[in-house]
Amino acid sequence: MRAILVLILVIAFATSAAAQAQKAKSREELMQQALQAALDNIQTIRCGSDRCAPATAEERKNPPLSLTETSQVFGRGLFSGGADICQLDWGKRNYEPMMAYWRSRKKNERQLALISIIHTIGMQQIQKQIGANCPAEMKKDVESKLDFKP
């Protein structure tokens, strides 16, 4: 049963690269692409009370999040996406505690905005792959892993 979810997550993860112009060959490249996609879209959301400024050239060269952080957030987004499909409360169980964790790690508003976008990218990827169907075994697996734990 868990193998099914893992396979779905791997497929979704690999598909996220297809949305980018270049094909990634490693997890690191996939996370780089997700981070760059978040930087491409940062001006579409708020950094505190104001809209975030577009990413600068310097920010693109030296992003405000590491690839490890990006990977952690993207992975939580995959679980939130699966939970959304299965009509589980991903907001209260995963997203809100995850954001509280990153705030406790002293992330600034811009970094938090990127975290939110990367989480959404992960959600969208799994939703594109699975659609609206939530098999019982998937729901059970997502249910067991949904609660955020740092």
Q: In terms of Cα–Cα distance, which of 114, 85, 115, 102 is closest to 9? A: 85
What total number of domains does the chain contain? 1
Domain assignment of residue 121, yes or no: yes
Domain assignment of residue 150, yes or no: no
CA 75 to chain centroid? 6
What pLDDT is stored for residue 27 in this prediction?
87
Domain assignment of residue 52, yes or no: yes
Sort strands 46-47 and 50-51 into parallel, antiparallel or unpaired.
Answer: antiparallel
Range of the domain at 77: 2-145
Q: What phi and psi values does residue 51 have, to the nearest 5 degrees?
A: -65, 145
Mean pLDDT by 10 residues, the chain (150 residues): 39 42 71 96 94 96 97 96 96 98 97 98 93 93 94
What pLDDT is stored for residue 149 in this prediction?
93
**Distance (Å, whole) CA 86 – CA 24:** 29
What pLDDT is stored for residue 24 in this prediction?
53
- The answer to whether 60 touches 39, Cβ cutoff 8 Å, is yes
- pTM as predicted: 0.83
